[in-house]
Structure 1
């Protein structure tokens, strides 16, 4: 194993294997149902809402697939390098948010990963949401599955632009710091 970053082409085979193994696993249906059923608790104001005309019901299944692809790419890099930091490749904010929903099913996902023979790579303090066209993840994704859906794979600069819009909208209804605080008195409401 190498502690240097592989090329995007070098991860294609392993990412494809990981994705296929996860989807073929005996507990995949339960994992998918648990992840998507958890959606009523997805209350992040700065993750999924950066998607234009975000709709939980219609977007959650495609985002689930994209989250799996992101984790498969991370697993492939880890398999080639055995380096968790290198494996934390750039992921678009909405896709990263979905990976959090997936990892919130730890027992199911750990058993699937063990049977499929890959490591789950995701540590929030090491993640990179600086995804952009031409970055490692973008190139590896394109070689593995084709063009990433631009609805979900938003460049970091566009995410920042949209967050400014969202933050202003949230503030207009009393949700400050992009939904991280408010001064609503529920007893008075």
Structure 2
């Protein structure tokens, strides 16, 4: 992030609420929501969603979609106030960030909704911050807009690291090294 002072939480909150209302009011929002929640066997993540305790895609996807929308609205509000996309990459919790990836995969819908609503949707993987903390700036902005964020999804960065470590150990125990980034399974030999 740059050295400029970020806008006050209440300023971001007011703008984020309006941005979110505009997005939800767009005629293509139902299609965007449906497409974002359409998970197939192609969608797999070993370190984003699984950090949520007792994760269950079918029951967690819809509430997490709402959190992803709120995160994108907060980032758009910071951008609106600063004009700087790097400053707008405020800290987002890992599971929420993972949902924003699913949402942004609906590129044509996102672009059309953003154009109609005037929102600037901010997300760039090499600029993102997933070091969310419950006592940080993002939390203050969220609370000013919508109250306390659901702790189930807005996990503190240190807790995410702890849970990822546990997951990495479990994955390694079945031959999935580097949290699913590599394995040495010989499928031809396993098929015998």
Counterpart Cα distance in 1 of 2:166 and 2:132: 20
Q: Report the Cα offset of residue 150 of structure 1.
A: 0.3
Give deviations 1:6-52, integer Å, cap 9, x for gaps: 11111111100110011111000000011101354321100000000
Residue by residue over 1:137-184, the C-alpha shift from the partner in whole angstroms, topping out at 9 and shown as x without a partner, is 000000100000000000000000000100000001110011111100
**Structure-to-structure mapping, 1:163-174, within 5 angstroms:** 163-174=164-175
Counterparts in 2 of 1:18-97, with a 5 A limit? 18-97=19-98
User: Structure 2: 5+ residue runs without aligned partners?
Assistant: none
Q: Label 1:39 to 1:76 Cα distance change in 2 as closer, same or farther (>3 A).
A: farther
Which secondary structure state, in structure 2, belongs to the residue aligned with residue 41 of structure 1? coil
SS of equivalent to 1:188:
helix
The count of residues paired between Structure 1 and Structure 2 equals 187
Instruction: Give the distance between the partners of 2:41 and 2:155, measured in 1 at CA.
Output: 23
CA distance in 1 between counterparts of 2:146 and 2:10 reads 12
What's the C-alpha RMSD, in Å, of the aligned pairs? Answer: 0.9
> How far apart, CA to CA, are the structure 1 residues paired with 2:187 and 2:46?
20
Which aligned pairs between 1:130-169 and structure 2 lie closer than 5 A?
Answer: 130-169=131-170
Find the residue that maps to 2:126 and give its secondary structure: helix
Q: Distance in 2 between matches of 1:92 and 1:73?
A: 13
Residue 185 of structure 1 deviates from its aligned partner by: 0.4
Structure 2 distance, partners of 1:28, 1:41, is 23
TM-score (norm 2): 0.95
Q: Deviations over 1:40-81 (max 9, x none)?
A: 432110000000000000000001000000000000000000
Matched ranges for 1:2-17 at <5 A: 4-17=5-18
User: Closer, same or farther in 2 for the Cα pair 1:8/1:39, shift >3 Å?
Assistant: farther
Could you list the structure 1 runs, at least 4 aligned residues long, displaced by more than 4 angstroms after superposition.
Answer: none
Gaps of 5+ in 1: none
